[in-house]
Amino acid sequence: MSYSEFLDWMAYRRKRGSFNTGMRVERGTALLATILHNTNRKKDSQPVSFYHFAPYHEEPAISMEEAMEKWK
């Protein structure tokens, strides 16, 4: 495999995600669980994030502005 082909595959993986079937299944079920939880939650509770149900996916870091907004 040439270096340019490797870079093409890395770009594809960044855009489309892992090739691991288990991780794809986990992502799909976590997305469904998030949707179900957020549609059936009580009015006074906070919505949950996709990352609460997907322990092997890393939550992206938030920016300084987003953090300051959350801390208000």
Q: What is the DSSP letter of 40?
A: S
- In tens, the pLDDT along 32-45 reads 999 999 999 988 88
pLDDT of residue 38: 93
pTM: 0.64
What pLDDT, on the 0 to 100 scale, is given for residue 61?
84
Q: Is the pLDDT of residue 72 over 90?
A: no
Amino acid at residue number 57: H
- Name the average pLDDT for the chain: 88
Residue 4's H or E segment, with its range, is helix 3-16
